[in-house]
Amino acid sequence: MPRPTIESLISSGHIERIAHGDDGFILRSTLPISLQAMVEELSSSVQPTLDGLNADPVIVPSLDLYRGNRRDISKKIAALEIGKLILENGYISYAQCAQMMETVRHEFICFTNQVCCWDLPPTAQIRGLEIFLYIPVLKIPFRCLGQSGSDPSVLLPNVPSLQK
């Protein structure tokens, strides 16, 4: 799967650019669901695989779940953890989101490799932009919120009813 760019996500209809200023873009996920509902949906979709990996004996999942595409279980688990953190705190910095996507995915693939005696490459990169494919968020530059700092933007939950 090619790494997404802002332009490819806009052209595919996954995000909208709702504002542009000197401080950067405000981007909105087009997912028509609340963050709470999406976290519940992601949780229920990954739970059977997690239960199987933790079963005795282990129920080995299909390799189709590890292809790096949108159905990749490791990406869903990373998005789930980020969604939970946003629900808990109300936001996450974009840099923290990008780092968390990489870290959670890497840790889950290493765990799967150990449990299933596989050798999946745990170092495949994931872009922070991919979060827009999994959870409904707004990416807003900090300066638009009257803030400054080393991280240029923050992710907030998107409210589907605000979409066109």
pLDDT of residue 51: 97
| Sheet with 153-157, edge to edge strand ranges | 15-21, 24-29, 137-141, 153-157, 92-93
Number of H helices, E strands in the chain: 5, 5
pLDDT of residue 161: 57
Entry pTM: 0.88
3-state DSSP assignment of residue 47: helix
The pLDDT of residue 1: 56
Q: How far apart are CA 35 and CA 57, in angstroms?
A: 34
List the structure tokens of 150.
């080393």
Q: What are the tokens at 129?
A: 């932009």
Assess contact for 87 and 39: CB atoms under 8 A: yes
pLDDT in tens, the chain (164 residues): 567 888 889 999 999 988 766 556 789 999 999 999 999 999 999 999 999 999 999 999 999 998 888 889 999 999 999 999 999 999 999 989 999 999 999 999 999 999 999 998 865 566 788 899 999 999 988 765 555 555 578 899 987 755 55
What was the pLDDT predicted at 5?
Answer: 85
